[in-house]
């Protein structure tokens, strides 16, 4: 992920320097477990523990010759170990993927914890915004066409619950990736005891893999990436609503526009929904990581490396991108400008057509057949569409001699009653954490 969209904390998780710190920790813990079991000399542990992690530059220099990243890391780290002979017992009985998969699990857990904290903030921002606008009337739209009265808070409540579910989905996915694998070349513990795996897993806050080949099968990691993709797409849903609401013809919403901000190099009047559009673009990048990661589930026999090159890109990009999306979506929501007067004006702009469904039901309850009631209401509505005359007028004309209870129409065509029906939704929203 490019620096423009990389926030410092998440960027560090996936930095080469931090990766080697984790690699050192995994190898040191495995060495400790061996020493406790008497497999290797106890005297080897302290020198290895004190050896500083190799720099990315040192590892790269060796890898340019070895063409093997783990061997390059072990050699560079051995150069930092005093006495160097102690490094002979590092990686004892392990295969490269024991180190790689266990360290990757640590990284994914660290990344997930950062994401969950930011998801909590976004859930809270959406919840609070929705409660603030629980009675802010607006028109509900389906297919982009006016449907029935609604409230802005109701729309945002939908996003709040969706983000809460996305957060909870990621919590479950965290368990799926928090897996240590230290079981040897094909996962049979041929040269290493399961006790080593259990020891390392416990120290790192992971659980031992139930079973592994040379690698941990990638269904858990795929679940994790899919959880990020869903979370990113919920962010996009919020952004799309703002983009629609900020259109000149609608003008119900607007992103915050700071002092000195410019909207266009050519048109000084422009105030564009740039955060929302950025969210939409970034969500595509995160969704795009699902397929290459899932394609790492089927590998040749006990393992090939077709998954690893894709994961080096896909996993950091998915985590860093989602981190950025949560950050700017929270910024979007907390700074969002809402125009209630414009919402009310748009609600009333169709001349009452948004009440056709309520009128239809009222006529049926009054004894008219549904077929006759539907035709009457639709004929009146179409005339309103074509002429712009208020729906109540066209309804009376098309009703002819049929009696229309004006008092009842006043009640069913009162937009505030839609607010009253939403009480349970907002009661649930108030309990959302």
> Pairing between strand 145-151 and 207-208?
unpaired
| Residues 6 or more apart whose Cβ sits within 8 Å of residue 199 | 29, 30, 32, 33, 36
Give CA–CA dist 90/77, Å, rounded.
Answer: 10
- Which residues is 142 bridged to in the sheet? 145
Q: Which residue has the tokens 């609604």?
A: 150
- Residue 105 near residue 178 (C-beta atoms within 8 A): yes
Q: What beta strand segments (E) does 301-414 contain?
A: 337-338
What's the longest Cα–Cα distance across the chain? 105
Q: Which residue has the tokens 């620096």?
A: 3
| Residues 6 or more apart whose Cβ sits within 8 Å of residue 119 | 163, 166, 167, 170, 231, 326
Alpha helices (runs of H) in 350-415, residue ranges in sequence order:
356-365, 370-387, 391-399, 406-412
Tell me which residue of 146, 111, 206 sits closest to 384, measured CA to CA. 146
Q: Which of the residues are catalytic?
A: 143, 264
Positive or negative, the Cα torsion across 316, 322, 327, 331? positive
Tell me which residue of 221, 175, 214, 176 sits closest to 192, measured CA to CA. 214
- Rounded to 10 degrees, the C-alpha dihedral 407/413/419/424 comes to 80
Say whether 280 sits in a helix, a strand or coil: helix
Q: How does DSSP classify residue 421?
A: T
Q: Which residue has the tokens 């139930």?
A: 210
Give CA–CA dist 244/263, Å, rounded.
Answer: 17
Q: Which helix (H) or strand (E) holds 138?
A: strand 137-142
Q: Which helix (H) or strand (E) holds 430?
A: helix 423-430
| Residues 6 or more apart whose Cβ sits within 8 Å of residue 59 | 16, 20, 69, 72, 73, 76
Positive or negative, the Cα torsion across 171, 172, 175, 177? negative
| Residues 6 or more apart whose Cβ sits within 8 Å of residue 276 | 238, 239, 240, 242, 243, 246, 255, 332
């Amino acid at each position: 992920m490019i620096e423009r969209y990389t926030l410092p904390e998440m960027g560090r998780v996936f930095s080469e320097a931090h990766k080697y710190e984790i690699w050192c920790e995994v190898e040191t813990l495995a060495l400790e477990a061996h020493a406790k079991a008497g497999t290797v000399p106890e005297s080897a542990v302290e020198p290895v523990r004190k050896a500083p992690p190799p720099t990315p530059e040192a590892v790269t220099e060796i890898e340019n010759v070895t063409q093997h990243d783990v061997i390059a890391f072990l050699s560079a780290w051995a150069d930092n170990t005093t006495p160097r002979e102690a490094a002979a017992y590092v990686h004892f009985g392990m295969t490269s993927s024991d180190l790689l998969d266990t360290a990757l699990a640590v990284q994914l857990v660290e990344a997930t914890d950062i994401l969950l904290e930011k998801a909590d903030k976004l859930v809270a921002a959406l919840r609070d915004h929705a409660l603030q606008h629980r009675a802010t009337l607006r028109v509900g739209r389906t297919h982009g066409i006016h449907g029935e009265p609604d409230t802005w808070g109701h729309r945002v409540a939908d996003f709040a619950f969706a983000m809460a579910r996305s957060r909870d989905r990621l919590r479950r996915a965290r368990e799926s990736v928090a897996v240590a694998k230290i079981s040897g070349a094909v996962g049979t513990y041929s040269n290493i005891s399961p006790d080593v795996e259990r020891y390392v897993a416990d120290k790192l806050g992971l659980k031992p893999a139930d079973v592994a080949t040379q690698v941990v099968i990638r269904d858990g990691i795929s679940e994790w990436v899919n959880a990020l993709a869903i979370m990113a797409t919920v962010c996009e849903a919020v952004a799309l609503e703002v983009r629609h609401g900020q259109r000149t013809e609608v003008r119900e919403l607007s992103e915050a526009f700071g002092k000195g901000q410019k909207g266009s190099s050519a048109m000084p009047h422009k105030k564009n929904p740039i955060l929302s559009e950025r969210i939409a673009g970034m969500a595509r990048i995160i969704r795009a990581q699902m397929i290459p990661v899932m394609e790492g589930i089927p590998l040749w026999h006990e393992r090939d490396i077709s998954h690893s090159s894709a994961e080096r890109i896909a996993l950091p990009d998915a985590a860093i991108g989602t981190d950025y999306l949560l950050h700017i979506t929270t910024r979007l929501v907390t700074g969002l400008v809402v125009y209630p007067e414009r919402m009310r004006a748009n609600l009333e702009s169709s001349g009452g057509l948004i009440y056709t469904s309520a009128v239809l039901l009222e006529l049926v309850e009054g004894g008219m057949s549904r077929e006759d009631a539907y035709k009457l209401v639709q004929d009146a509505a179409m005339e309103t569409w074509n002429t712009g005359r208020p729906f109540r007028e066209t309804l009376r004309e098309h009703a002819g001699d049929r009696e229309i209870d004006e008092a009842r129409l006043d009640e069913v065509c009162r937009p505030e009653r839609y607010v009253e029906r939403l009480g349970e939704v907002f009661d649930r929203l108030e309990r959302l954490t």
